[in-house]
Structure 1
Amino acid sequence: MNTVKTDLTGQIRLEDRHESQLEHGAALDPTPVNSMHKIRLNDAETIRMEMARLYKDMRLGRIDTQDGTRLAYVLDMVRKAHETCELQRRVEIIDQVNKIRKLKWLLQRMPILAMS
């Protein structure tokens, strides 16, 4: 397991930061407003990938763990909402298939009902 080296104040040492995190010796804001990329969270895989990216950014010190924890919580709520919608869609499909099967079964029995 990689450990992050910190100075006496608990901050990541500047010499251990990635070059993109340095600006004239000062650390850059980890999420500049103008350079944020569009995050698509439209399926479970992209949500999982965003959670993994968030975890990595917290481990590398790019995102404060308290902020990262909040973002992870929101991502988990998005995941649960996606999961609920997906399960609802699947249940509706199963209901439709069962109705079709029931109708087919009834149609097969119709001649028998008419004869009796």
Structure 2
Amino acid sequence: MFKKIQQLRIKYPFLKIIWNRYFLVVLFFIIWMLFLDNYSYLDHRLLNKEINELEANQKYYKEEITSDSIKIKKLQNPDMIEKYAREKYFMKKDSEDIYIIEFEDDLQNEESKKDFK
């Protein structure tokens, strides 16, 4: 077996480098660090993806907080509370009637959305 390896080393000089013990140790270390270690490259990639997702969520929620705080400031005014209730919840005064007008374009868009589902 050892003679065959020696013959292959002579025939193919790059095998001499591959069978070098330092090369094998470095190769083992690289494979260990990339795949088998607790702090492997693959684990770091997954953690970095999770960090990016969490940072995106943080940015989204900060934007939502600022928009909500602006809405809260606007709703300190009684006229704005009434306007918000009328637009969002279709509330009305006792002496009023509300008519919801739907246009043909809106109806066609709703029917086409139903067809796709």
TM-score range, shorter chain: 0.3 to 0.5
Bigger helix share: 2
Please report the TM-score for the alignment, with normalisation by the length of structure 2: 0.39
Indicate the structure whose relative CO is greater, using CA pairs within 8 Å and at least 6 residues apart: 1
Structure with greater Cα Rg: 2
